[in-house]
Structures are given as C-alpha cells and as structure tokens.
C-alpha cells in the first residue's frame, strides 16, 4: 500500500493555522495541519528532538512549533527554528521532522508513505481526480480490517437479502434498477481479472436480444466502484484506507452531477423502509480513532430493532443501508478468519480478487511494481455502473465495448481505454 498515493484526510478538516489533527494511517501515528500559506502538512507525531507529540504543537507563521523546547518545522519537515540553544550552537539544518509528500486533489489531502524519492503519479481514478467543486466526498470509519469492507462492496449477492430482503420487485417504480435485485436474488454473473484489479458483471436477459449488465470493479490497492448508477455518467469510487489492521477509513468520492438519492422511494413517492443512504455520526474527537464514527456500533449492537426485523418492515432490523453494511462487516470481528469461510459460486468475485492480490504481492516481492503504480493511467478505464448491450457480446468484452463505445466519453473526454 505504501507504493501508492492514498487519501489521508478531507481538505475541509484542516484549517489554516488551526490545531493539528491526529491521523492514524497504515498503523502510523501522524499529525496533519495546514500552515499560514494554506499548505497541508502531514508528519510523524513525534518531534525529532525528544519525541514530544506534535499534536500538542502550535501551528503558527508557516509551520508547526513543538511545545516542549519550541523547535519549529515547515510542512516538508525542515527545521526552521531551534530557540532552545544559543544561536551559534543551533543546528536546524541537521534535523528534519519525518514529513511525507502530500497533494491536495478532489477535496482530499493525499499522502505518499512509500520510500521512493520521486513519488509516482496519483492514481488516475476518475472520481478521485474530479475538480473539488464537482465532487462529493464523505468519510466513514469502521472497526474492522479494510479488506472486509472492500469485499462487502464486491459481494453483490448480499444486496437482495441484507438491503432488500423484505421488498418485492413490485415495491419499486419501473425505472428503479433496484427492482432487479428484488426480482432475482441469485443473479448470474461473470468475473475476471482486469489491468486495474478485478471486475464482475451481473447479468440478465433484457428486451430485444439485449442483456442488462451491472458492473463493479476492484482497483488496487483498496478501491471499489459499484454499480449504483447508469454507466454513462456514474463517476464514483470508494477507498478503504487502513488506519491500522483493525480500523478502516472509507473515502467515498462521487460526481456531483449525479448524486445518489438519500432516500429510495416506492411508486407513490413514499420512502421505502431500510433504504436510507445516510446514517448518524458521533461528533468528531481528537482521539486516534475519533473521526467519522457512526453512532451505531458493535457496543450497541448497531441499534438493531428486533421488532422491525420480526414484523418484516426490514429484513435486517437495521434502518439504513450504511448501518446494514457496517453491521455485516464489523460483526465478522476485526479480522475475519478466511479458513472458516465456505465460499460458493456467488462469491467468485471475492475469491478472484483475493487471488489477484496474492499474485500481485508475489510479483512485488520479486521486484515488480504493483499494478497502477508506474502505470496509473490504467485506472482511467475503470468504471462501475449498469447498461444494456447486445446479448451476443460476452464478458468481459461487453465491458470494453461499452466503455470504448459511448460509456465514458460523455463526462470524461480524455479517458483512454486500455484493454
Ligand atoms: S521535544 Fe520537541 S522541541 Fe524538544
Ligand atoms: Fe451492501
């Protein structure tokens, strides 16, 4: 993961010359702040002098000043003041705070935690590279390993149960594609390795010798794209960033032009139970794990409502989609034991993605750069969404056919497709 740029914190969380934020990323304790010129900085929590936490630091006049002996550091780690020693003995040029390269893009501050002196390019994932006024970003923390969360996005067969288990196709308006998930809870699908990771297409017969496809992707090292919108303009991606092995921060990027509705309505325009697409968050605290926490959590059984479950108002007894997914992945425990699982054909995407990851890791150990690090352009060809296509076209050709044909050109004219 250190080979890639990773989303670190939302730009809006860092205010110029205001207090630093504790940030846990890949098991590293870091502090993030924004200097007087507006530049974000992220560095090791420990002051390089005697290890006092820079979380306590004063962000002032172009840097962060440690409160113990007053040493001051710029966002790039350069020491610019050493006021605790006589001027002629000061040696700021010999000390550097352990700061990491950062970039700001799409409303998010990105960090490179790798050891290359020249970091690679940002991953060319279209949702993550939208200009900040065109992108919606939100964060959500969950108490489990990142892979559990990413795999939940790729586990299409849970949709008809966890989210829609007590609804029928007839409950949805004609034009709502969720009706297909309620109509057929055991869909056919195909999956394959792709340059960016893996993809699946769930498919069913449609009118006039067509097939209806719902496509989702896994992108290295921890991204997903789900089929929650029309392929033509569904620019959306989620990063499941490991805070440590047992805590994950999700960053959801989506194009503002096509926001997902917060409520799914029935034919009369009334909200359908259990399908709200938002949840209640606790106020942020300064703790390492204090940001973007849902109010429903393992300690309160995710606020499960047994009466709602018994009376079949919802299948799960959990009242919104985010909490349903959260309860599913957190209830597995912090790191699920794969040896206890029984994967079947409907889990092929999960299995294929694990194998693809293991293969990439083996190649990395042999000295090859992981997919998309030196060739980040390959991510540009990845998008999730639904579409209809001629039934004669097989998977995965049908994906490239759609993407090359008309799919990705409407909103991303510079996209180049690599197959
Ligand atoms: S420990 Fe930070 S200045 Fe001394
Ligand atoms: Fe889900």
Question: In this predicted model, what pLDDT tens digit does every residue of 122-169 receive, in sequence order?
Answer: 999 999 999 888 999 999 999 999 999 999 999 988 999 999 999 999
Distance in angstroms (rounded) separating the CA atoms of residues 94 and 79: 8
Same fold, 5-112 and 126-407: no
Q: Given a cut of 60, is residue 212 above it in pLDDT?
A: yes
Query: 293 and 330 in contact (C-beta within 8 Å)?
Result: no
The alpha carbon of 3 and the centre of ligand 1 are apart by a number of angstroms equal to: 31
Structure tokens at 157: 């067969």
Instruction: Please report which confidence band the pLDDT of residue 181 belongs to, taking 50, 70 and 90 as the band edges.
Output: confident
Rounded mean pLDDT, 35-52: 98
What are the boundaries of each domain within the chain?
A: 5-112, 126-407
Would you state the pLDDT for residue 332? 98
Would you state the pLDDT for residue 413? 45
Instruction: Please report which confidence band the pLDDT of residue 415 belongs to, taking 50, 70 and 90 as the band edges.
Output: very low
Q: Given a cut of 90, is residue 171 above it in pLDDT?
A: yes
> Is the shortest distance between the CB of 52 and ligand 1 below 6 Å?
yes
Query: 150 and 224 in contact (C-beta within 8 Å)?
Result: yes
At CB < 8 A and 24+ separation, what contacts does 254-261 make? 254/127, 254/135, 254/136, 255/127, 255/130, 255/134, 255/135, 255/136, 255/411, 256/133, 256/134, 256/135, 256/136, 257/134, 257/233, 257/411, 258/229, 258/230, 258/233, 258/234, 259/136, 260/228, 260/229, 260/236
Q: Given a cut of 60, is residue 31 above it in pLDDT?
A: yes
70 Cα nearest atom in ligand 1: 3
Q: What share of the chain is helix, strand, coil (3-state, %, to 5)?
A: 25, 30, 45
Contacts of 345 (CB under 8 A, 6+ apart): none
> Is the shortest distance between the CB of 50 and ligand 1 below 6 Å?
yes
The alpha carbon of 345 and the centre of ligand 2 are apart by a number of angstroms equal to: 18
Rounded mean pLDDT, 25-44: 98
Closest CA to 346 of 237, 195, 178, 190: 190
Average pLDDT, the chain: 93
Closest CA to 298 of 141, 183, 413: 141
Q: How many CB atoms lie within 10 A of CB 182?
A: 20
Query: 271 and 284 in contact (C-beta within 8 Å)?
Result: no
Closest CA to 386 of 239, 171, 187: 187
Instruction: Please report which confidence band the pLDDT of residue 179 belongs to, taking 50, 70 and 90 as the band edges.
Output: confident
Q: In what order do the strands lie in the sheet with 72-73?
A: 58-59, 64-65, 72-73, 79-81
Query: 35 and 59 in contact (C-beta within 8 Å)?
Result: yes
Q: Given a cut of 50, is residue 419 above it in pLDDT?
A: no
Instruction: Please report which confidence band the pLDDT of residue 411 belongs to, taking 50, 70 and 90 as the band edges.
Output: low
Residue found under tokens 């962000």 = 59
> Is the shortest distance between the CB of 71 and ligand 1 below 6 Å?
yes
> What sections of 111-233 are H helices per DSSP?
146-154, 178-183
Q: Whose CA is nearest to atom 4 of ligand 1?
A: 69
69 Cα nearest atom in ligand 1: 3
Give the sign of the dihedral formed by CA 313, CA 316, CA 320, CA 321: negative
Pocket test for ligand 1, best of 44, 55, 66, 82 (most atoms within 8 A of CB): 66
The alpha carbon of 36 and the centre of ligand 1 are apart by a number of angstroms equal to: 21
> Is the shortest distance between the CB of 47 and ligand 1 below 6 Å?
yes
Q: Given a cut of 90, is residue 54 above it in pLDDT?
A: yes
Query: 202 and 188 in contact (C-beta within 8 Å)?
Result: yes
CATH code of the domain made up of 5-112: 2.102.10.10
Rounded mean pLDDT, 188-192: 92
> Is the shortest distance between the CB of 401 and ligand 1 below 6 Å?
no
Would you state the pLDDT for residue 410? 59
Ligand lying closest to the C-alpha of residue 162:
2
Pocket test for ligand 1, best of 52, 63, 73 (most atoms within 8 A of CB): 52
Strands 385-390 and 188-194: unpaired
Choice among 177-186, 281-290, 293-302, 314-323 with the minimum mean pLDDT? 177-186
Choices 1.10.10, 3.30.420, 3.90.380, 3.10.620: CATH for 126-407? 3.90.380
Question: Which pTM does this prediction carry?
Answer: 0.95
Ligand lying closest to the C-alpha of residue 84:
1
For residue 53, which phi and psi values (nearest 5 degrees)? Answer: -70, 130
Would you state the pLDDT for residue 412? 55
Ligand lying closest to the C-alpha of residue 157:
2
Q: What percent of the chain has pLDDT over 90?
A: 83
Q: Given a cut of 70, is residue 401 above it in pLDDT?
A: yes
Closest CA to 9 of 105, 152, 94: 105
């Amino acid at each position: 993961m250190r080979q890639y740029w990773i989303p670190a914190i939302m730009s809006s969380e860092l205010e110029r010359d205001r207090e630093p934020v504790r940030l846990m990323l890949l098991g590293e304790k870091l502090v993030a702040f924004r200097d007087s010129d507006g530049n974000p900085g992220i560095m090791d929590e420990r002051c390089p002098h005697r290890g006092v936490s820079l979380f306590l630091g004063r962000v002032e006049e172009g840097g962060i000043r440690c409160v113990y002996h007053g040493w001051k550091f710029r966002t790039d780690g350069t020491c610019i003041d050493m006021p605790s020693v006589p001027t002629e003995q000061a040696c700021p040029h010999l000390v550097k705070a352990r700061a990491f390269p950062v970039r700001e893009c799409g409303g998010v501050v990105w960090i490179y935690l790798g050891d290359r002196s020249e970091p690679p390019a940002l991953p060319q994932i279209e949702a993550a590279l939208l200009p900040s006024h065109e992108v919606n970003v939100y964060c959500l923390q969950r108490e489990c390993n990142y892979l559990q969360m990413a795999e939940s996005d790729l586990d299409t067969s849970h949709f008809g149960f966890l989210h829609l288990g007590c609804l029928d196709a007839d409950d949805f308006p004609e034009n709502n594609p969720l009706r297909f998930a309620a109509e057929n809870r055991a869909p056919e699908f195909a999956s394959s390795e792709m340059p960016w990771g893996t993809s699946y297409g769930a498919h069913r017969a449609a009118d006039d010798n067509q097939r209806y496809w719902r496509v989702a992707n896994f992108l290295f090292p921890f991204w997903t794209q789900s089929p929650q919108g029309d392929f033509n303009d569904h620019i959306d991606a989620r990063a499941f960033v490991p805070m440590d092995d047992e805590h994950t921060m999700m960053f959801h990027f989506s194009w503002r032009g096509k926001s997902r509705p917060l409520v799914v309505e029935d034919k009369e325009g009334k909200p359908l139970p259990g399908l709200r697409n938002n949840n209640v968050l606790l106020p942020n605290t300064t703790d390492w794990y204090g940001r973007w926490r849902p109010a429903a959590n393992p300690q309160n059984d995710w606020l499960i409502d047994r009466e709602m479950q018994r009376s079949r108002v919802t299948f799960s007894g959990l009242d919104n989609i985010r909490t349903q997914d959260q309860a599913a992945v957190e209830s597995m425990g912090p790191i699920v034991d794969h040896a206890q699982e029984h994967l079947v054909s409907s889990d092929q995407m999960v299995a294929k993605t694990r194998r693809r990851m293991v293969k990439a890791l083996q190649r990395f150990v042999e000295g090859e750069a992981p997919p998309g690090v030196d060739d980040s352009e390959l991510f540009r060809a990845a998008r999730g969404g639904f579409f209809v296509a001629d039934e004669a076209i097989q998977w995965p050709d049908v994906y490239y056919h759609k993407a090359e044909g008309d799919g990705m050109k409407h909103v991303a004219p510079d996209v180049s497709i690599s197959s």
